[in-house]
Amino acid sequence: MKQLSKPFFTCITLFLLSSSIGNSQTLKDFLNSKETPTTYLGVDFSQTRLIGDAGANTSDIASRQYGGINDVIINEPKKYDIAGAFQKSKVDNDIAQTVTKNMSVKPAEIISTNAADYTRLKEADITTVVKGYDFLGKKGIGILFVVEAMSKPAKASAIWATIVDMTTNQVLLTERIEGKATGIGFRNYWAGSLSDVIKTIDKKKFDEWKAKYGK
């Protein structure tokens, strides 16, 4: 077998190193620039467990309520100010694939009586969720909220705020944030917890991310 030359290995090493640097700069640029092309991808309920609500109509939740929560976030941008929270001049919306994923959720898998399900996911689980997306050639950064659980006893949701490089399906940053649920009716109540998470990002988290990863 013909041996490969040292210059060949040097080129490969430099290529891989530059790719790694490019990915890190993508997050850095996103955190520091208001003009980074950014798309809001919606709320992913594919992993969600509804804890302590045994009487809930799970068929209605899967077929209608999850879609309703996604719709209200798009339709009320002042209340759910994603562009402001992530310090962007403009954020496009494309939640079609997320809505389709949510429609495939099996009603029998929604309800949980196990309080430990509120903290069962890890960063690797979010990476797996994102790998399952096909961004259809979209470029730039995507913002995705993956709901781990909605706890009726705690009156709160656990939500992974996730920043994605849509070109590579790479998770650039994901962090679990809890949001207090408020409002009347299933949709508004749990959408309220997303509003709380967005406010937390606006008031605190984005600046923390910028200080930690943006330099």
3-state secondary structure 82-109: HHHHCCCCCCEECCHHHHHHHHCCCHHH
- pTM value? 0.88
Question: What Rg do the C-alpha atoms of the chain give, in angstroms?
Answer: 19
pLDDT in tens, 1-44: 445 455 444 443 333 333 333 443 489 999 999 999 999 999 99
Across the range 164-174, mean pLDDT stands at: 96
- With a CB cutoff of 8 Å and minimum separation 6, the contacts of 130 are 144, 162, 164, 169, 170, 171
Only one residue has tokens 């798309």, namely 39
Residue 93 pairs in a beta bridge with 40
Instruction: Please state, in angstroms and rounded to a whole number, the distance separating the CA atoms of residues 133 and 122.
Output: 18
Which residues in 188-211 are b (16+ Cβ under 10 Å) and which e? ebbbbbbbbbbbbbbeebbeebee
- With a CB cutoff of 8 Å and minimum separation 6, the contacts of 79 are 195
Across the range 83-110, mean pLDDT stands at: 96
Across the range 107-117, mean pLDDT stands at: 97
Domain ranges (residues) in the chain: 8-213
Instruction: Please state, in angstroms and rounded to a whole number, the distance separating the CA atoms of residues 190 and 59.
Output: 17
Share of the chain above pLDDT 70, in %: 88
Q: What is the mean pLDDT of the chain?
A: 90
Taking CA 126 as the corner, what is the angle to CA 120 and CA 132, rounded to the nearest 5 degrees?
130
Instruction: Please state, in angstroms and rounded to a whole number, the distance separating the CA atoms of residues 97 and 191.
Output: 19
Q: How many residues in total does the chain contain?
A: 215
Residue 153 is inside which H or E element, if any? none
- pLDDT tier at 165, thresholds 50, 70, 90: very high
